[in-house]
Structure 1
Amino acid sequence: MNASRTRPMTVGELSRQTGVPVKTLRAYTDLGLIYTLGRSPAGYRLYTADALWCVRFIDQLRGLGLTVAEIRELTTAHLHGPDTPVGAHLAELLHRSRERLRQRIAAQQQTLNRIEKFQAEHRADLAEDDLCWAGDPQCA
């Protein structure tokens, strides 16, 4: 392991290496999703290379649609009790994410259908240079 990977990183360095904003990293730290070594003499939060893995894993889970609250739920369950295996818990969270996504897709499909219906009903009006709504006093 090279020296830059073994020395602690500040939150700014962690941000540069992961592309995650400092504000987000501070929030993850405050939520207990990533851990610090403590603070430097100047008061900066210090992180180990393990934080790189944690941030990348959080980013991957966020990319799968999990909320920060769900990720916290997963880590809390893992740290505080062996009642539910992590894999089973993650599978449930992925199921929830999938269902949310399906609902969003259905809502977007409804919007798309409304657009298509509107365009079909107002095809002639939309083709004109100046759209005039029925009942609009400025169009009389």
Structure 2
Amino acid sequence: MKRPRPMTVGELSRRTGVPVKTLREYTDLGLIYTLGRSPSNYRLFDADALWCVRFIGQLRGLGLTLAEIRELATASLDGADGPAGPRLAQLLRRSRERLRQRIAAQQQVLRRIAEFEAEHQEELVAEGDFCWAGDPRSGAGA
């Protein structure tokens, strides 16, 4: 059975849509492994790298940080912490909580916008400048 030809980092980038710089970072973090280097000193990857890059993308899309993904990968490789499933579930709960906190912060901004609009309703619908008409820096009105 013939083994597929290794991919360069550029080819892996084209096939996954992930920038070369990001793939180098993933490699440096130990999230994807190279087969070594070509005679031209290019990093070489096998088909497993395609799966890894796509899985990393899925986890990033779920809000996991690269540090958390690295933690998960390291624990899985070490096998010391048992199966990866429960650890991933814990990381997903953590990601969900971060997202809830960001949503709450954005909802607070929405409330402040509504309060501002209610407080300044007349000025917001009136012709002319809102606050710059009476700008003390302009020297007008003094």
2:6 aligned partner, one-letter code: P
Amino acid of the structure 2 residue aligned with 1:123 = Q
Distance 1:80 1:91 in 2: 18
Aligned equivalent of 1:23: 21
Amino acid at match of 1:54: C
**Counterparts of 1:85 and 1:111 in 2: how far apart (Å)?**
41
The residue aligned with 1:57 is 55
For residue 127 of structure 1, report the CA deviation from its aligned partner.
1.3
Listed one character per residue, the Cα deviations across residues 88-125 of structure 1 (whole Å, up to 9, x for unaligned) are 00000000000000000000000000001001100111
Matched, 1:120 2:115: no
Alignment of 1:16-95 (within 5 A): 16-95=14-93
Seq. identity, %: 75
1:81 CA drift (Å): 2.6
> Which residue in 1 is equivalent to 2:104?
106
Secondary structure, in 3 states, of the residue corresponding to 1:46? strand
SS of 2:90 mapped into structure 1: helix
- Return the offset for 1:85: 1.8
Shift of 1:40: 0.1
Match in the other structure for 1:130: 129
Normalising by structure 2, report the TM-score. Answer: 0.90
The CA distance in 2 between the partners of 1:114 and 1:105, in whole Å, is 14
1:49-89 alpha-carbon deviations (Å, 9 max, x no partner): 11000000000000000000000000000111332320000
Deviation at 1:133, TM superposition (A): 6.3
- 1:105 maps to a residue whose letter is I
Q: How many Å apart are 1:135 and its aligned residue? A: 7.1
Distance 2:131 2:58 in 1: 49
Alpha-carbon shift at residue 21 of structure 1 (Å): 0.3
